[in-house]
Structure 1
Amino acid sequence: MNNEPRVNERIHVDQVRLVGPGGEQVGVVRVEDALRLAQESGLDLVEVAPNSNPPVAKLMDYGKFKYESAQKAREARRNQSNTVIKSIRIGLKIDENDYNTKKGQAERFLNGGDKVKFDLRFKGREQSRPDQGVRLLRGIAEELSEISTIEAAPRAEGRNMSMVLAPLRKKSEAKSDQRRRREAERESRRAEKTRRSGEEQDEVKPAETPQAPAKPSMPMPKPPRASN
């Protein structure tokens, strides 16, 4: 199916609501007059709203418009990444060390541009206390609020309760930051290597040979005094 708009002589209507190249409203004109204006301006007449009554047409450089649209589409595809959902399992009676470990894992995943799904499993009578599970998951979300947002609020499913956090940054942005950090680290290592190499060269540089002290100059003898 061709989704391209009708252009110039392909517009088969009697009248159009004409829009100028700068977005100014010209008004309802005969399509012949709109085509004449397009030709005089060196532009194209493009039907941008065919279902309006009358259809809306705009004066524009259609070739340039198509090129810029294609560029934007390619850029969008290049920046689009498949987001991965990382799962982290926790328990209601999680200890502090394990809690910090799980939170650290979530931070790494989120900073890398991936979503994180927390899976909490109730054991035994814990299933009768879903409010505690909600508080635990909400607390994690609050501590990670600077780098994430809640995409799926805590929800109970039988003995399980889950919550999904989404990163605030796109994965493409996270990858760009990672590349910049790696480049900065490589540059820092190169500078450190150059500095150490210079220090080593200074250490092996031969000592300068001391110069012999200059001999003191002999005083010139005084000429004899003439006798009277």
Structure 2
Amino acid sequence: MLMNEKIKAAEVELTGLQGEDLGIIPTRDALKMAKELKVDLICLSLATSPPPCKLVSRAEYLADRDQEKKKERKEAKGIKVKEIRLSAFIEDHDYDTKKRQAERILQAGDAVQLTVRLEKKEAEAAKELVQQLVKDLRHCGRQDKGIQVSGKQVIAHLLPL
């Protein structure tokens, strides 16, 4: 990223502090304007002629760059899947606690796997419990696949919105 005197182009396409278009002006005039406003002249791209440049305060520029890097790292990391285990016959308070936990995970950008371990003949009750939980979490997550009922457990996957 080129800044201030390192910009060697004869003229630049300048954008002001509030994003207003100032047109194509000589680089010397753009540098003089940046010094008067006590900000930096930053070249956004060298691909076009004249290069687009912007008047930006250094602190704002550094904060934006750090925020973009942080966002790129988060996107590169991908989505984690976190499991929440339940029992088929759960108390209301415990249900609310698990629901809040799932909401927190979904709002943080991670996926949730709801798992109900089965004992004896609990398959229908477990399936109804998972359906209710998926319905209650619809505002912060969407169901990935259908509810999977296997021999020993009932599973549902929720992805963040």
TM-score by length of 1: 0.44
Q: Check conservation: 2:41, 2:55, Cα contact below 8 A.
A: yes
Number of the residue aligned with 2:54: 58
Aligned residue for 1:49, secondary structure, equals coil
CA–CA separation in structure 1 for the residues paired with 2:2 and 2:149: 52
Matching of residue 35 in structure 1 with residue 2 in structure 2 = no
Aligned positions, number: 141
Q: Could you say what the CA RMSD is over the residues aligned between the two structures, in angstroms?
A: 4.4
1:114 corresponds, among 95, 100, 105, to 105
Q: Which has the higher contact order (CA 8 A, sep 6+)?
A: 2
Aligned residue for 1:28, secondary structure, equals strand
The structure having more radius of gyration, on CA atoms, is 1
Structure 1 residues 61, 149: closer, same or farther in 2, change over 3 A? closer
1:35 Cα deviation after fit: 2.0
Structure 1 residues 167, 25: closer, same or farther in 2, change over 3 A? closer
* Aligned-partner residue type, residue 114 of structure 1: I
Number of the residue aligned with 2:134: 141
Aligned residue for 2:144, secondary structure, equals strand
Q: Check conservation: 2:81, 2:113, Cα contact below 8 A.
A: no
In structure 1, stretches of 5+ residues that fail to align are 124-131, 169-228
Number of the residue aligned with 2:109: none
Identity percentage over the alignment?
A: 21
1:139 Cα deviation after fit: 2.9
Superposed CA offset, 1:13-35 (max 9, x none): 23321112222111122323322
1:9 Cα deviation after fit: 1.0
* Aligned-partner residue type, residue 41 of structure 2: L
Matching of residue 85 in structure 1 with residue 82 in structure 2 = yes
Q: Check conservation: 1:138, 1:154, Cα contact below 8 A.
A: no
Q: Check conservation: 2:99, 2:133, Cα contact below 8 A.
A: no
TM-score by length of 2: 0.58
Q: Which has the higher helix share?
A: 1
Aligned residue for 2:146, secondary structure, equals strand
1:152 corresponds, among 144, 154, 158, to 144
Structure 1 residues 39, 118: closer, same or farther in 2, change over 3 A? closer
Number of the residue aligned with 1:45: 41
